[in-house]
Every structure is written in structure tokens, then in C-alpha cells.
Amino acid sequence: MLDVAPLTDAPPAPGPCEWRRRWTHWRNRILGSPTFQTWASRLPVFASVSRRRAASAFDLVAGFAYSQVLLAAVQLGLLDLLEAGPCNADEIARSTALSRAAATRLLRAAAALDLAEEVAPGCWMLGQQGAALRSNPGALAMVLHHPILYADLADPVALLRQDRQKPTALSGFWHYDVETDGETAGRYSALMAASQQMVAQQAMAAYTFARHRRLLDIGGGHGAFVRALAPAYPALELGIFDLPPVLAGAANLPSRVARHPGDFFTDTLPSGYDCITLSRILHDHDDDGCMRILRAIRTALPEGGRVVIAEPMAGVPGARAMGDGYFGLYLWAMNSGRPRTPAEYGKMLQQAGFARWRQRRTAMPVIASLIVSSY
């Protein structure tokens, strides 16, 4: 008689994770082989793929230099000069107080990034990327703000190892409370307002706010989000909840916008609003802070009311690098918050007492993704 081992003693079949591990190991071993790289670069069917991967790898190495070219172009007003009309290097040098050699170097670097374009020998105009960027005040404001982030990222390993309670340049910029002076509050509110218009456009395209009667924007700052909604929804009553020094700087708001000063961590939120929005608020806070905000909103909303979350999120197709690559380190340097996936927000909403949630697709997830939840 054959001695057959019991089936229970047989090694288990590889699970999905094990198969993925094996495949990834084999793929990486092949792609990392100099022999394979040389062979692939010589075959037309693989050559274009090899070039794209090589260029992508170099972009990872050179990314900081690219961002500094952009920063210099914005700080020196190069995009405005090129938009006004064709310029030569001498004109750019005079306007930016650079030497001709330095101006030429910057122009060529900007052209390599499509910020500038040489339309004829020595004749420069705005490039396609430059034209799109120049019309985006929110993006320009973030570019000018980035030196603060770069100061913290000068030694990324040290930043990742240090205690998150230790002050950073970025945490100093964003620090505020009910005692914050008006000038400091205005500093961060102005930066937020510059980008909130883009977030509001994504939210309005993905969700119809006309179904609501009254809308409250939590952490609404100087009112950029509700300003964008106001002309599109003339019948919608609007309100902003934010710290007193922040609301004090909110000038020229539409007359139908109510101001509610307070701290969403300690004060009761105003009731009577059937829609509450959180525009780029939650990802700035750690999990316990987010849960306090969501529970406060759940208490304030009437039955059938909805909360709308609009912000860049992690794990979203088309915005993965922005979600975890950019905001992951940005919020780490800020000493508060983290990028979260829509599923993570869904779980938090359910824990806060919301029965249903749904992700709404946006056209530009690098700017914002949208989640709508009700109970």
C-alpha cells in the first residue's frame, strides 16, 4: 500500500499576496538587468517604452531642479514678461536684474519645461505649460509658498526621524488658534483662498448643491468656497464657520453669507444647515481631530442632511503621486494630518454616525476628490 501523506500536511497553495510577491520579484529582477535593458533598447517595440521609463526615472532625480526653475520664473515675473509679448534675453535680463547669461540659462530651462517657448532664434514667448500656469492664481500662490516647504525638506531623512511635535518652518506658517492676530490669520487665509476657487469648481461640477436650502462651510476662511457657490446657486443660503480672527478678515462677502465665529474642536456648530462642506480641512488634521469634526457635524445636521468633503485624496487614479507623494510629505512637515483614501474617509464617516457615503468622480482629482455622506 502506498504511504500517502494526509492532505492536511500538504503545503498550502500560494495566496494572492504570495503570487503578487513572486511576480513583482521576477519583474524587478528582469527590469533591473543591464542585459535586458540593452536588449530592450534595441528593439523598436520596446525602445519607446525604455525611453519613457528612463526619462521618468531621471525626472525623479531632477524634480527638485525643475521646481526651482519654476520658482525662479514665478518670483522674477518671467511668465508675465513672456505673456506680454515676444522678448529677447537682453530684455529679460534688464527686467529681472539678471545677467544676460543667467537670463538665457533660465529661459532655456523654462523652455525645457514648456514654461517658455523660443518661437524664433533669440525670440521668446510663453509656453503652453506657462500659459496654463499663469492663469491659475492658486497654483502660483502655492509655488511662491514652497520655499517654506523646501526648508523642511532640505534633509528629508532628518524630518522623517524627528519628533512630530518639534516645530518646523511649515508648522510655524500654518499654526493658528483663537488668539491668533489678524495679520497672521490673514497670511494663511489668503493662501487658502487662492486655491479654494479650484476646489469649488471641482465640487460644483461633481455635485448639485441646488438640492439644499442652507449650506455651511466649515473652516471657510475668507469665504473663497462660498463666493464661488454664490452666483451658481442664488437661492442657497450660505454660512461660514471659522476662528474669529479669520472671519474678521473676510471682507466683501455677499450679504446672504452668515458668519459664525468659533473653534470646530471646542464649540458647538450652528444648526439649521442641511449641507455642511469641508473643503481641504480634514487632511490637515490627525485621525482623532477628524473624528471630532465629523461627530460635531453629525450632531449639527438635521435628518437627511449631507456632508461634502472636498480635498486631494490618496489612492485615487490620476492623482496617486499628488496624494501620497506630495501631500504625504507636506503634511508630515506640517506636523499634522495625512492624506487618506476615500475608503478611509468612508470608514471614519460610518464611525461618526453617518449611514451612507459615496465618492463622486471629479474631472481633476489632483485638485480635489469628493465624498458625499448622509444618514
CATH of the domain at 97: 1.10.10.10
pLDDT, residue 287, reads 97
pLDDT, residue 242, reads 94
pLDDT-derived band at 39 (thresholds 50, 70, 90) equals low
Instruction: Specify the higher pLDDT residue, 291 or 34.
Output: 291
pLDDT, residue 37, reads 65
Looking at the structure, tell me whether residues 218 and 199 fall in a common domain: yes
Q: Which residues of 302-335 are buried (b: 16+ CB within 10 A; e: fewer)?
A: eeebbbbbbbbbbebeebeebbbeebebbbbbbb
Q: Is residue 244 part of a domain?
A: yes
Question: Has residue 2 got a pLDDT over 50?
Answer: no
What mean pLDDT do residues 22-40 have?
70
Looking at the structure, tell me whether residues 274 and 369 fall in a common domain: yes
Whether the CB-CB separation of 173 and 148 falls below 8 Å is answered with yes
Looking at the structure, tell me whether residues 93 and 185 fall in a common domain: no
Q: Is residue 38 part of a domain?
A: no
pLDDT, residue 262, reads 96
pTM, 2 dp: 0.82
Gap between the Cα atoms of 257 and 259, Å rounded:
7
Instruction: Specify the higher pLDDT residue, 194 or 289.
Output: 289
pLDDT-derived band at 5 (thresholds 50, 70, 90) equals very low
- Between strands 116-120 and 275-279, the pairing is unpaired
Q: Is residue 258 part of a domain?
A: yes
- The CATH number covering residue 285 comes to 3.40.50.150
Question: Has residue 4 got a pLDDT over 80?
Answer: no
Looking at the structure, tell me whether residues 224 and 370 fall in a common domain: yes
Q: In what order do the strands lie in the sheet with 356-360?
A: 257-261, 237-242, 214-218, 275-279, 306-311, 369-374, 356-360
The number of residues in the chain equals 375
Q: Is residue 14 part of a domain?
A: no
Looking at the structure, tell me whether residues 115 and 148 fall in a common domain: no
Looking at the structure, tell me whether residues 230 and 282 fall in a common domain: yes
Question: Has residue 308 got a pLDDT over 90?
Answer: yes
Question: Has residue 91 got a pLDDT over 90?
Answer: yes
Q: What is the mean pLDDT of the chain?
A: 88
Integer angstrom CA distances of residue 69 from 64, 201, 297: 9, 29, 43
What mean pLDDT do residues 347-364 have?
96
Whether the CB-CB separation of 275 and 225 falls below 8 Å is answered with no
Instruction: Specify the higher pLDDT residue, 342 or 14.
Output: 342
What mean pLDDT do residues 72-96 have?
96
Q: Is residue 24 part of a domain?
A: no
pLDDT, residue 8, reads 52
Instruction: Specify the higher pLDDT residue, 186 or 160.
Output: 160
Closest CA to 125 of 90, 80, 93: 80
Instruction: Specify the higher pLDDT residue, 20 or 143.
Output: 143
Gap between the Cα atoms of 262 and 304, Å rounded:
25
pLDDT, residue 29, reads 76
Residue 177's φ and ψ, nearest 5 degrees, are -155, -170
167-187 residue pLDDT tens: 999 988 877 654 545 455 555
101-118 residue pLDDT tens: 999 999 999 999 999 999
What mean pLDDT do residues 53-60 have?
75
Looking at the structure, tell me whether residues 205 and 224 fall in a common domain: yes
User: Which domain covers residue 160, as residue numbers?
Assistant: 137-374
Q: Is residue 175 part of a domain?
A: yes
Domains identified in the chain, total number: 2
pLDDT-derived band at 289 (thresholds 50, 70, 90) equals very high
Looking at the structure, tell me whether residues 223 and 257 fall in a common domain: yes
Q: Which residue has the cell 499576496?
A: 17
Gap between the Cα atoms of 221 and 218, Å rounded:
9
Looking at the structure, tell me whether residues 171 and 94 fall in a common domain: no
Gap between the Cα atoms of 35 and 26, Å rounded:
15
